[in-house]
A and B are shown apart, each in its own frame.
Chain A
Amino acid sequence: MMGLEEYKYKDLIHRCFRCGYCKFPTDWSDVTNCPAYARFRMESYSNGGRLWLIYAWLTGEIQWSENLSKILYSCTSCKNCVEKCPLSFNDDIVNMVVAAKSQMVETGKVPPLVRKFLQNVQVQGNPYGIDANKRADWMNGLELQPYQGQDYLYYVGCEGAYDTRAQGAARATARVLQDAGVSFGVLGVDECCDGNEVDMLGEEALLEDLATKNIDQFSKRGVKNIVTLSPHAYNVFKNKYPAFGGHFNVLHYTQVFADLIKTGKLKGPEQQGVRITFHDPCFLGRWNGEYNAPRKVIGAVKGANFTEMERNKKGALCCGGGAGNFFTDFLGGSGESPARIRAREAGDVKADILAVACPNCLTMLDDAVKAEGLDNRIKVMDISELLCPA
């Protein structure tokens, strides 16, 4: 068993007061903006409770248990708590959870679904455990070029490549880029998991492995600019890869789209009278401070009314899919699952379209809208799909 001494935040973790500011969104509207706490409403699932449990586990005051690991892994790394915790160590409070997950990984004590996720990535390069050779299936019929020195590498990621719903977004993004005359290529079956979720699940060695391989491949092919479908990939490429020697100019596709719109190379479609709302992805918003680009792109849809949900931007409620939860689904199975709360919020503002900019959010919210019986009223669409000519 590893203890406090080996723990990276051993000098910080006991400083959490459990005051609970971290439960709130920016506008203080309720204590329900930590998706895990919103789902279970027990103090153990708020970040304060989680940090106290971690400290107790590391000091031997309590023992590891399945429930403890579930409490840790139900944290989606959405960073709402970082936004609200007023204390000077707030930047690290999610890292503290991730570091504790790492200690669980090292001792082999993770929930079975997490183990499965990590094994799948290790063996097939994706969490679903689908054959690595099927990674290019999403682009069937699209006539995309393999990457060989074009301006951009378009990195699709595991969800976009394999999840049937997310494939729609992957294809739409590719088509918009094509139509706008952007020079880009893809890696097809040579693409491999980016490692963001692996990182958030605490599997440091696997992240290093993936990052090294990817960087190696990108460098060999002379990649300079990367455009990603997923904010998760965007985050890890931009913020973690430099530490492994990978220095690329990384953009999320909404940023590229926004630029294309500005320069007139991309035009929005007509959607007269349609009411659109937008769900901020955590890894674009709170992790990387990008709130404008997706809104600019939506703004290009002619004739549509854009309306914000109550909780937005820094205060957005996470869909509950981060840190592998789109696969492990520890927050699923209830009307209080964050994705379903979010679906209802979109319903509250009478949105016809709930726009997203992340393949995880797309699958999570698409399911949630159905579970809420709102699918006849609200269509969940990736921004790329909104922009993609039919």
Chain B
Amino acid sequence: MESIYQALVEIVGEDYASNRHEELFTYSKDLGTSPPQWPEYVAAPKTVEEVQKIVYLANKEKVAIVPLGGGLTLAGLALPLKGGIIIDMKRLDKIIEVNEAARYMVVEAGASHGKVTAYLHKHHPTLMHSEPGAPAAATIGGNMAIHGQGDLAHPYGFNTDMINGLEVILPTGEIARFGSCAVGSGWYTMHPLPDLGLFLGWNGSTGIITKISFRLYPYKKIRDNDAFTVSDENLVPEILHELTHLGLTEDLIATSSEIPPVMNRLHHISIMIAGDYEEEMEFKRHMIFDLTLGKYIRSGVGGIGGIAAERLRPQISKSADWKKGGGFEYVGSIVPVAAYPECYRRGSEISARHDIPYTVLGRVIGCCHAMMFSWSYAFNRADAETVRHAREALHETDVMVMELNGTIWKPAVFGQKLMMDRMDQTTLQLMKKVKDLLDPNGIMNPGNWEVQ
């Protein structure tokens, strides 16, 4: 298919198109346990027009296209399940606008979270966006395409709850805009237009997001990571409930892990607080630790695990190397906060069965409206047996999430199927209709959210 390659070269230039084995190899793998899936071409467009031309080309040639951001979901969501063209979105990375007064920012979808954080830090130091704990190379578009959450999830919800406007290339190549930008009124709100929510959470299978406007929030100068520790997992939901009632914190995350031993069978609640003044910080600490959590301390069931640890932004994750083997993958779920104890207990059992030290984490979303609970399974990339164990553990966890009445977040294809098996028929059929309507040639990241 030399002609498709040639056409890609014409669109993006020779340097940014490849059908060479080495590039195809690289894009055939993601970082998790998924087996490789080979693309036939890779292209890295620089402009919206170039992306659009690729989409037209794909429709003409009936080849699949898969948008790829940082490629960091771990769940194989940007692997070309049916071959075709990988569109590496990372050159589409312009910062288009920051509106300080209305607290929003418009970027091209391939801009990385690291870049956005650094840009705001430098040019708008009183503003921040909700940054996920993913490596800084994760893109804004990729994160929105899977309903990500960041370090403002407790006060403000999912990152996709913060969207003020979207520009999308439809699977057939037309460009559509949503929100106030659609009526030419700037990028400051998604409402009050009729709801079309067709692109978020779809893993790029209904279109390619090219521009996003998202909300920014106050960035306060003094930023601490405090911690509260309990041994009884049953206390975690009520503590989180009390803290969200108080409403003085940013991110709230509960973690527990077998390794290092200091974390084993303990639950460590990270309480992120921020203030512009020392007095503000002390006030918050007093409210949190003395008044709200004091009773747990005095009765001896909870303790201050630390005060004023540094909060890095971008956050740096070293979790991949826990097993000294360069790999881990996690199942994420969206569950009620009340499910924390059960999630932890059953997760650590699955880990034990596969001889993987357990690692769990729950991040509060909204005012305890839900929690992103994750179970991580480390493996050694050089040891197929450990990869197999991790994959099996992931599948068992997917099943367990369903048993717990949870929903799987950014499910791999295996989990997507479990969810669709349980989905009510009307919704499922509507999904199919939407997909068929938008993508008549079935070329957009096929295999994802595919209703049979």
Contacts and interface: CB of A to CB of B under 8 A. Distances in A.
A/B touching: CB–CB < 8 A? yes
Interface of A: 14-21, 23-24, 27-31, 39-44, 49, 52-53, 56, 61-63, 65, 67-68, 71, 86-88, 334, 336
A14 B320 CA distance: 11
Contacts of A28: 114-115, 117-118, 136, 314
Given A16-B326, A31-B90, A53 B316 contact: no
A19 B320 contact: yes
Contacts of B325: 14-15
A21 B23 contact: no
A44 B20 CA distance: 11
B112 interface: yes
Q: Which of A28, A30, A63, A88 neighbours the largest number of chain B CB atoms within 10 Å of its CB?
A: A28
Q: Which of A29, A61, A68 neighbours the largest number of chain B CB atoms within 10 Å of its CB?
A: A29
Interface of B: 15-16, 18, 20-23, 25-27, 29, 31, 42, 44, 70-72, 88, 90-91, 93, 112, 114-115, 117-119, 122, 135-137, 314, 316-318, 320-321, 324-327, 380-382
Given A42-B42, A87-B320, A62 B118 contact: no
Contacts of B122: 27, 29
A40 B22 contact: no
Contacts of B42: 42
| Majority SS at the chain B contact face | mixed
B25 A15 contact: no
A68 B23 CA distance: 9
Contacts of A68: 22
A318 B417 CA distance: 47
Contacts of B72: 19-20
B26 A41 contact: no
Contact of B44 (A20, A42, A53): A42
Contacts of A40: 15-16
A19 to B, nearest CB: 4
A334 B137 contact: no
A18 B23 CA distance: 14
**A-B pairs, 5 with minimum CB distance:** A20-B137, A17-B320, A15-B326, A28-B118, A19-B135
B299 to A, nearest CB: 39
Contact of A17 (B22, B316, B326): B326
13 contacts: A17-B31, A17-B320, A20-B137, A27-B118, A30-B112, A31-B115, A40-B15, A44-B22, A65-B22, A68-B22, A86-B318, A88-B321, A334-B15
A53 B320 contact: no
A88 B327 CA distance: 14
A297 B335 CA distance: 61
Contacts of B88: 41-43
Nearest to B25: A62
Contact of B25 (A18, A29, A39, A53): A53
Contact of A21 (B25, B26, B119, B135): B135
A153 B170 CA distance: 67
